[in-house]
Amino acid sequence: MDPISQLFAAYLEMVSSNIVASYEDAANTRLVSQRLVYEDTAIGFQHQLWRIREQSVCADIKQDVTQYAYCTRKAKRLFSSLCKQLSRHDDLNQHGRRLSTMYCNASLSYKPMIAHIGEPSLRSEQQRAQKRCNELILKAMQDKRPEVQQQKAAACAKANG
């Protein structure tokens, strides 16, 4: 291939890449990952086609239920805050209007995880007796001494009596 043909091919490749990139940005066809800090909490999420992927919100901390629930509640407030801020501006370009719509939709539709982990409730006397019986059944399976068998029998009689 001669140098002029190579130069022309490179030019066409560059122009077509720019057109494709512009279209992808305008239509938001690529999956975009974002991490925003809101009220001292880093909130990660992904969006594509101008919609926030709900399962991606705070997904990086999903293994810690308490932190995950906290993060998702903050994310809901973040989406509402961004919606309000962007909606106030009348002079947004097309990209800004699409972001505004995306955050407003998320502020309405996103459901954060609500989790409260508290102390277990007090057990009744019957539940404690059943637990003791179960513990001694396991112990008696391993320890065949008569005194362990007698303790098991007494505890289970109390639990079942």
pLDDT digits (tens, 9 = 90+) for 54-76: 999 999 999 988 899 999 999 99
Which position has the higher pLDDT, 40 or 2? 40
Same domain, 56 and 103: yes
> Rounded distance, CA 139 to CA 72, Å?
44
Are 47 and 98 part of one and the same domain? yes
**Are the beta carbons of 113 and 69 closer than 8 angstroms?**
yes
- Containing domain of residue 54, as a range? 24-109
Does 100 lie in the same domain as 74? yes
The predicted model scores a pTM of 0.60
Dihedral sign for Cα 70, 76, 79, 85, please.
negative
Helix, strand or coil for residue 51? strand
Q: How many domains does the chain have?
A: 2
Identity of the amino acid at 36: L
Residues 93 and 132 reside in one and the same domain? no
Question: Which residue is it, tokens 């954060």?
Answer: 112
**72 in the same domain as 133:** no
Judge if 130 and 105 occupy the same domain: no
pLDDT tens-digit map of 11-64: 556 655 555 444 455 567 789 999 999 999 999 999 999 999 999 999 999 998
Contacts of 26 (CB under 8 A, 6+ apart): 94, 95
